[in-house]
Amino acid sequence: MIARSLLTGLVLAGGQGRRMQAAALEKGLLELNGKPLVEHACGHLAPYVDKVLISANTNLDRYAQYGDVVPDDLALGEYSGPLAGIASALRHVATPWLVVLPVDVPCPPVDLIERLCASVGDEGPRIAYARTSAGVHPLCMVAHSSLVDGLYDFLLSGERKVQFWQRQNDAVPVLFDDVGDAFFNINTPEDLLRASGLTE
């Protein structure tokens, strides 16, 4: 397990969220059982990390109530995907490790961060991400800060695919079995309604 003093948390809230925007809603600020999604995400990260960063490109003042906000680096282009948020955060971290949680995954496995962090090391893999028997969840990951320059080069070359970058860096998948709806993610107002029953 990575010591708390060596780990920064990142909430990914910087996406365009087109289906939510069609309903004039900012995904990370939507309330779920009385708290905005960003607060739920920060609550999952806080016990394990030295500091929480929030990747966001709109409503920066509101997100700043929950952590230090890091907008995407403009050098990477506008809306260059979630890896741009991760790359920009890696340029700001003061710890060797960054653990990432998307803002729209409101009820991740309770042992998510512990198991991801147990799968990496200074001499071993530098990225680990979650998967289940049904599929992969590459944005639930931990990554080493030394990867930042290579990630910038990857993005500046025009690449955007998360799993492609992870494979290039020998990322290890961590299997989570029998976790039910733990990786359910919110993309529509209907999903938000469903999630209210999962997190009560």
DSSP state, 183?
A: T
The pLDDT value recorded for residue 181 is 83
Task: Give the domain CATH number at 81.
Answer: 3.90.550.10
In whole angstroms, give the CA distance from residue 98 to residue 143: 5
Q: Which domain holds residue 148?
A: 4-198
What pLDDT, on the 0 to 100 scale, is given for residue 18?
Answer: 52
Q: Residues 6 or more apart from 169 whose CB is under 8 A from it?
A: 126, 127, 147, 150
Q: What is the pLDDT of residue 23?
A: 45
DSSP 74: G
DSSP 41-65: HHHHHGGG-SEEEEE-SS-HHHHTT
pLDDT score of 200? 52
Per-residue pLDDT of the chain (200 residues; tens, 9 = 90+): 799 999 999 999 976 555 455 444 688 999 998 999 999 999 999 999 999 999 999 999 999 999 999 999 999 987 789 999 999 999 999 999 999 999 999 999 999 999 999 999 988 899 999 999 989 999 999 999 999 999 999 999 999 999 999 999 999 999 998 777 889 888 887 888 887 776 55
User: What is the structure's pLDDT at 22?
Assistant: 41
Beta bridge partner(s), residue 72: none
The pLDDT value recorded for residue 172 is 98
- What are residue 128's phi and psi, to 5 degrees? -135, 145
CA distance 200 to 198: 6
Domains contained in the chain, number: 1
Per-residue pLDDT, 24 = 47
- pTM (2 d.p.): 0.93
